[in-house]
Structure 1
Amino acid sequence: MSTKEKTTTSATERFNELFSEMECCNAEEQKHKIEELNELMDEMDRNKQKLVFTKEMFNTIDKMIEKKNFSLENAILFLKNVGYCCAMKRIYDHAFCESLLNERFKKMIIEEEEKKEGKNESLLVDLCECFSLLNFYFISDELISICVPCLLKAVSKKEESEETQKEVEIALLVLSEMGCSKVKQELYLKEITEIIKHQQKHRNLTKLAYQSAWQFIIDRLLFNYIIDHAVMNEIHFVKEATRELEELTKCVNWKKKEEEMSKEEAKEELTLMRWVETLKIYFRYCSLQNEEYVCLFCRIVQVYRAAKDNHIEISDKCIYSLRNATQNRFMKVEDLLKGGAVDAVLEEMQRRTVDGKIAFESLQFFSNVSYRLKEEERYEMEEAKRKATKMKMLEKLEEEGFEDIVISIHDIFNNRNRQIYTQLIVIVLHLILKA
């Protein structure tokens, strides 16, 4: 058995051993066990956590609550950190959704919300946080209508104490993990814009909390194009995203690999990656032009170049985001050129480590640009400007030896994908180089 396997076995066995001991402990002893379990969770990587966050674990917690062997207070204390770890390590599976505990929490949230008198607001927030963090998008409209207003009320606290801001960070993280679940505009738009405006004025939220607020609202673009105007003109998403990317790029230690980072460094890296993922959504669904896109593309390219050696997941997501930008007719090809997006994708295509998926995305980037140039030929009022952009693109591709690049990555694709790959090459060469 390798050292790595021994470490994995030791960590998971120790977790399971500690967890099994809790049923025989009193409430105070359980709190100490939970502290130990939380420390273990923080040390575990994603694969180790997936081994212990199982349906069986959640069912055991449900039985312990039923038998009163596990106080609800302690269960929430434990589950909130499990949910936080799942969000931070991007663990998305159905373990909690399929458990008995899921049904218990659903019932408790609804019953607490329906109370006419004596409603425990703090308990309701805790239940909503645990339930939403662990549910992997599977939240009914009824639960959304309860959880979203409840969590937004929790994050509206203006106190700047460390404890309060930690609570706010968790609540915003929970909201951001709701993904693309449908949420009625009247449940969130006014409140979330006020939270963002307050942060822009006072800068009292953590970096992760602020990113989470934006992620929640940008995810709603899929269902509600009206909020485009608020995002662009009222709370200035492009400007804020550009600034946050620049600041976080300076904070991350790019020489360290993820497993070498401290907890705080890993948090900064994850926050940056979440921003890039949010931009991928934004570029796909936004429907307004903005003169600040050039600066935003510059920052994404800056992140790509900083990340490409030791943080491949981030650099890959930068390429995906830029690819999405080429699909949106509100993003100008000229702005992509000025922002260095074309250079970054060409750089990626020339890297020896480029894999089939990224090579395909890179080709798709240029295929989309080809179509966009054709679109501008049909719709662009300033013909001279369109022709100048096309000439700049041609010069860039010829300068970098684009034809040689696409030929050199031919062997990356397997037989099944080679036909699609060849079609993309034909499209790109014909519409850009031969048009």
Structure 2
Amino acid sequence: MENAILLLKHVGYLAVLRDMESFNFSKSLLSKRFEKMIVEEEKKKEGKNEKLLADLCECFVLLNQFCISKELLSIVLPCLLKVGLDKDESEETQKEVEMAFLALSNINEYAIIDKNMYFSEMKEIIQHHQEHNNLTRLAYHSAWEFVIKRFCLDGSLEDVISNELHFAKEAIKELEELMNCVDWKRTKEEREKESQEEKVLLRWLLTLEYFLGSCLLWNEKYSELIRCVVQVYQTAKGNNEEIGSRCIYSLSMAAKNRAMKNEDLLNGGAVNAILKENQLPTMDDVNTQISLKFLISITGRLKGKKKEKMKEEHRKGLKRKMFEKMEEEGYEDVITSFHGIFVLLEGCLYPFISLNVCDYFVNV
């Protein structure tokens, strides 16, 4: 049993780190067996094995992000938080803490969890790390990932996330440090195997997609966060295409968010980065679609189709500045040319369009 659990924890660890979803695990006999063992171990009044229970919970959640019942969540959550609260800085404990947080980060964002079950503990864990730097990079990100996924359904968390835990500031710090740790000048053969830092950097960008698409309380750090994502994109371009694509998608999510200011996107370099991206002959269809949606959001804002909380004179000045930038890059005709397919791109069918769109886009 001990060896089987160790193996499954390793499998789950790699699956989550590589963003591989185990759709069929929840229907398997193994999943049912885990559920039964977790419930039975939790119900023991004497001789409860806390280490075994934590291992079982980690295996189950690492392999199953979709179908976790309320009953199991009420067992799994406090068990993993208890592991995460261990402040011992030994290497063995650090690895167990990392595994617990990675498991927590894998819980689906649509799982309904009362914030009283976790938020005070997560706040303590994050603040303790900010003071003592006691978590691994992966563990710290995973703690944030869990919190940001909960924020997607519970907007009441945003004030604490932004103004007490300083998410934007922390994300900028982590992105910059990870970016400096990666050897971007590796050969093509060496780049085929991603470093641990690249994996964590990619996970931060995935987390930013949730946050930038949902945040409502404007914070001056947001423009710095946009600038940092653009910097990651420019550094990763040509070296790690997956990270580059995730940067573009994060910027697209920010452009769709009505709380994000046009100045943040313009001054942060997002508009310029997207415009230059679309002129590359190596651009693929996916990045083209994402970039077009970014431009759709920007032009929609500037044409006043959606209300902006700014003075009309200021809005017109910003609009003129933005369109001058687009005209300077030769995009006036591009926007017009693609006007006919904007409706499709904004609708539910846009991921399935196959029009060799990137070739046409570059030619225009």
How many Å separate the matches in 1 of 2:346 and 2:37?
A: 56
1:230 is matched with which residue?
160
Q: 1:183 pairs with 113, 132, 135, which one?
A: 113
Q: Trace 1:134-173 onto structure 2 (pairs within 5 A).
A: 134-173=63-102
Which of 164, 185, 203 is the equivalent residue of 1:274? 203
- 172-181 or 92-101: bigger deviation: 92-101
Amino acid paired to 2:133 = R
Alpha carbons 2:223, 2:265 under 8 Å: kept: yes
Measured at CA, do residues 379 and 112 of structure 1 come closer, stay the same or move farther in structure 2, by a change above 3 Å?
same
Q: Could you say if the C-alpha distance between residues 103 and 162 of structure 1 is closer, same or farther in structure 2, counting changes exceeding 3 Å?
A: same
Provide the rounded CA distance (Å) in 1 between the counterparts of 2:49 and 2:141: 29
SS of the aligned residue for 2:54 comes to helix
**TM-fit CA distance, 1:372:** 2.2
CA contact (8 A) 1:257 1:311 kept: no
C-alpha separation in 1, matches of 2:100 and 2:276: 39
> What CA distance in whole angstroms lies between the structure 1 residues aligned with 2:64 and 2:219?
36
Give the TM-score, by structure 1 length: 0.75
Structure with bigger helix share is 1
Q: Say which SS state the counterpart of residue 288 (structure 1) adopts.
A: coil
1:294 to 1:311, Cα distance in 2 relative to 1, 3 A? same
Could you give the per-residue CA deviations for residues 17-72 of structure 1, whole angstroms, max 9, x where no partner exists?
Answer: xxxxxxxxxxxxxxxxxxxxxxxxxxxxxxxxxxxxxxxxxxxxxxxxxxxxxxx1
What secondary structure does 2:183 align onto? coil
Structure with greater Cα Rg: 1
Instruction: Provide the residue aligned with 1:242 in structure 2.
Output: 172
Q: CA deviation at 1:140?
A: 1.3
Query: What does residue 101 of structure 1 align with?
Result: 30
1:259 and 1:147 map into 2 onto residues whose CA distance is: 41
Which among 255, 269, 282 is matched to residue 340 of structure 1?
A: 269
- Whether contact under 8 Å (1:377, 1:383) holds in the other structure is no
Q: 1:326 to 1:92 in 2, by over 3 A?
A: same
Partner of 2:357: none
Judged with a 3 Å threshold, the aligned counterparts in structure 2 of structure 1 residues 262 and 366 are, in CA distance, closer, same or farther, namely closer
Shift of 1:235: 0.2
Which residue is equivalent to 1:55?
A: none
Runs of 5+ consecutive residues of structure 2 not aligned to the other structure: 351-364
Give RMSD over aligned pairs.
Answer: 2.4
Alpha-carbon separation, structure 2, partners of 1:317 and 1:246: 16
- Cα offset, 1:85, TM superposition: 1.1
Equivalent residue, structure 1, for 2:246: 317
Confirm or deny that 1:420 pairs with 2:325: no
The AA in structure 2 aligned to 1:136 is Q
Measured at CA, do residues 135 and 160 of structure 1 come closer, stay the same or move farther in structure 2, by a change above 3 Å?
same
User: For residues 238 and 322 of structure 1, do their structure 2 counterparts lie closer, same or farther at Cα, with a shift above 3 Å needed?
Assistant: same
Q: Structure 1 vs Structure 2: percent identity of aligned residues?
A: 50
Distance 2:259 2:215 in 1: 8
1:256 to 178, 182, 186: 186
Question: 2:191–2:239: 8 Å Cα contact kept in structure 1?
Answer: no
Residue by residue, what CA displacement relative to the aligned partner does 1:132-188 show, whole Å, maximum 9, x if unpaired?
Answer: 001132211111111111101101011111111111111111111113122221111
